[in-house]
Structure 1
Amino acid sequence: MDVSVIGISSEAADLYRYFLRHRGDGVGDAKQALGLDPDMVEAAVEELERLSLLDLRDRHKVMATEPRIGIERLVESRLNELNAEIRRVLAARDAISVFAEDQQQGERAANALDIERVEGLEQVRQRLDDLCFFSYKETLCLHPGGPLSRGAIETALPLDTRSLRRGLAVKAVYHPRSLEDPLMAAYLRDLVSLGGEVHITEEPIDRMVIFDRSVAVVPIHPKESSRGALLVREPGLVSQLVTYFDGVWGASKDIREFTEPSKEPPLLSELERRVLSVMATAGKDEIAAREIDVSVRTYRRYVADLMARLGAVNRFQAALRAKEENWI
């Protein structure tokens, strides 16, 4: 029995039941009979009097209110409170129109492009951490110039590790100068061993990071990345940056091929060979994925990676180049 919902504590409920069973007993009788702490009994008596469940005009002869009257009155009072609360909650819907007007004003005053300016290196790192945490598909990076600083490496490796363990694809392109630093070279080896993909290019590239092909982060000033960054969410601009990345990626070399060039065809997994074999023949991704027994998402990821490695602009061309290069 839980009567706390109508404002009666468990101690007060026990005392109320006592006086219902012992009509005419006094407060002192209750203290002695129940063996409770006197202060606790006094507090419960005051609570019951406040709730109109006890008549204490004579403390030596306490009269308990009939439950059908006293409890019903408390229930009705509580229901009235709840109904009033419900009406106040429903009235909050009136605020929708007010907030909607604020939203419309904000949209009218907003810039034409969805670009956020973040200043300061620490603030940029925090935003990168947030974007990385909430990504669910892939991270694409371009790193021009030489090696990263020790601090940057110590910041980047945990983020990359977390992403790869969550199943995200991590693709990064670096300049050969990055490999001149032993700490940087070790970081890149660790990244590859965890499942990341690292390419090397000697061509000039612009610094940027793209999350899930929907948010791009570029420096405010291309030569002074410490000044801050621009977070670009405008679909048209992000699409152009993704196209730029894909072009750089396709023209660059895998770090293993760059550091240990080989004339032999690249080692392909059995699944990669099966993907190549159906790319030029299957009409739809769903059919191809079903044929090699993988999800459509997995199939598309493998296709995109193989096309980039082959420098192909479409799947048919990728299949042809794979045959020309003796990949299959």
Structure 2
Amino acid sequence: MDVSVIGLTDEAVEVYRYFLRNPGAGVGSIRQGLDLDPDSVEAAIDTLANLQLIDLADRHRVVATEPRIGIERLIEERLNELNTAIRRVLAARDAIAAFVEDQRHGENATSMLDIERVEGLDRVRQRLDDLGFFSYRETLCLHPGGPLSPGAIETALPLDTRSLRRGLAVKAVYHPKALDDPLMSAYLRDVVGLGGQIRITEDPMDRMVIFDRSVAVVPIHPKESARGALLVREAGLVSQLVTYFDGVWDAAVDFREFTEPTTDGPLLSDLERRVLAVMATADKDEIAAREIDVSVRTYRRYVADLMARLGAVNRFQAALRAKEENWI
């Protein structure tokens, strides 16, 4: 039988039944009658006394309450508690109306465009850093106008390095005026050397950064980027901005081709040459990536790009064709 629902433990049941079977027995006699340790006996005695199932006025002559009275009373008390709890649970239905109203407010709020306004250059840079840190696929950038400031370059290079080493694709388009600054040119060469993809175009373009094709950052004012930025997460708008970026990207010229137009043969970065060198020798992608100190994800992306450029159907063939074409 299970009477725990009315507050009786197994030990309390044993002690209660002992006193029912042995009228007038004292507390001290329980040790001989039951196989319970002293602590368990005292705990059971306290439970029975609190539930008014025994009378401890004289511990040498304990009186057990008649079961039909004591147990029935505990059952009634428990039923009253349960009925009270049921009424409280049913009363919770009254909150449904308030929750439904909250839902309506939420639905009305989501009908607005998901665009966040961030004011101030420092705050914008912080948000860009956060978005870049949590990106996992790619970063797309359009940079119209002249070179970045020395401070911006100093901030950008570690972020680009971190992203590229994590295996993200970094694609950016700059205006030729950005190359007028030696520091800016050196920065772009570093990014390309790390595996970034840089292109140059003289066509007009709007400043923007897109993370994982899901969040776009554009200036509040197209001519005054220092005022702040808009963080756009609205899927339809972001899709249009990605399409715009792809159009600018396709029409732009590769950075190496733009800066070294007379170079014979294909323009390969140091990283691309290193990828070609290990493609035919490494048994596994993990080993190859470790040899050239890049992520497996970055290595595989470069392999796929080089195979497409060489028209190869497998990696070994790509390595052979690269040697035939004097790429390596």
TMscore range, shorter length: 0.5 to 0.7
Amino acid at match of 2:187: M
2:294 corresponds to: none
TM superposition score normalised by structure 1? 0.54
1:231 corresponds to: 231
> Does 1:246 find its partner at 2:250?
no
1:58 corresponds to: 57
Deviation at 1:19, TM superposition (A): 1.7
1:149 corresponds to: 153
Q: CA RMSD in A?
A: 4.9
Counterparts in 2 of 1:24-173, with a 5 A limit? 34-36=37-39, 41=42, 49-50=49-50, 52=51, 54-58=53-57, 60=59, 61=62, 63=64, 69=72, 76=79, 79-80=82-83, 83-84=86-87, 86-103=89-106, 106=109, 114-128=114-128, 131-132=131-132, 138-144=138-144, 145-147=146-148, 148-159=152-163, 161-162=165-166, 164=167, 169-173=169-173
Where structure 1 has 5 or more consecutive residues not aligned to the other structure, the ranges are 270-301, 307-328
- Among all aligned residue pairs of Structure 1 and Structure 2, give the percentage whose two residues are the same amino acid: 45
Contact 1:117–1:229, Cα closer than 8 Å, also in 2: yes
Amino acid at match of 2:120: G
Contact 2:119–2:228, Cα closer than 8 Å, also in 1: yes
Counterparts in 2 of 1:223-302, with a 5 A limit? 224-234=224-234, 237-258=237-258, 261=261, 262-264=263-265
Contact 2:11–2:40, Cα closer than 8 Å, also in 1: no
Cα shift readout 1:246-294 (whole Å, capped 9, x = no counterpart): 2321122334444555454678x9xxxxxxxxxxxxxxxxxxxxxxxxx
Secondary structure in structure 2 of the residue aligned to 1:22: helix
Contact 1:200–1:255, Cα closer than 8 Å, also in 2: yes
Measure, in 1, the Cα distance between the counterparts of 2:86 and 2:162. 52
Secondary structure in structure 2 of the residue aligned to 1:149: helix
Shift in alpha-carbon separation, 1:49–1:133, aligned structure 2, 3 A:
farther
Contact 2:214–2:238, Cα closer than 8 Å, also in 1: yes
Measure, in 1, the Cα distance between the counterparts of 2:235 and 2:133. 21
Amino acid at match of 1:22: Y
Shift in alpha-carbon separation, 1:240–1:105, aligned structure 2, 3 A:
closer
Where structure 2 has 5 or more consecutive residues not aligned to the other structure, the ranges are 273-303, 309-328
Shift in alpha-carbon separation, 1:190–1:36, aligned structure 2, 3 A:
farther
2:179 corresponds to: 176
Deviation at 1:188, TM superposition (A): 0.9
Cα shift readout 1:114-153 (whole Å, capped 9, x = no counterpart): 4321123454345445545666654321234424332343
Cα shift readout 1:218-272 (whole Å, capped 9, x = no counterpart): 12244554442112345565444333322321122334444555454678x9xxx
Contact 2:49–2:56, Cα closer than 8 Å, also in 1: no
Secondary structure in structure 2 of the residue aligned to 1:98: helix
Shift in alpha-carbon separation, 1:221–1:16, aligned structure 2, 3 A:
same
Deviation at 1:178, TM superposition (A): 7.2
1:317 corresponds to: none
Shift in alpha-carbon separation, 1:65–1:199, aligned structure 2, 3 A:
farther
Measure, in 1, the Cα distance between the counterparts of 2:3 and 2:165. 53
Secondary structure in structure 1 of the residue aligned to 2:9: helix
Amino acid at match of 2:241: L
Shift in alpha-carbon separation, 1:183–1:79, aligned structure 2, 3 A:
farther
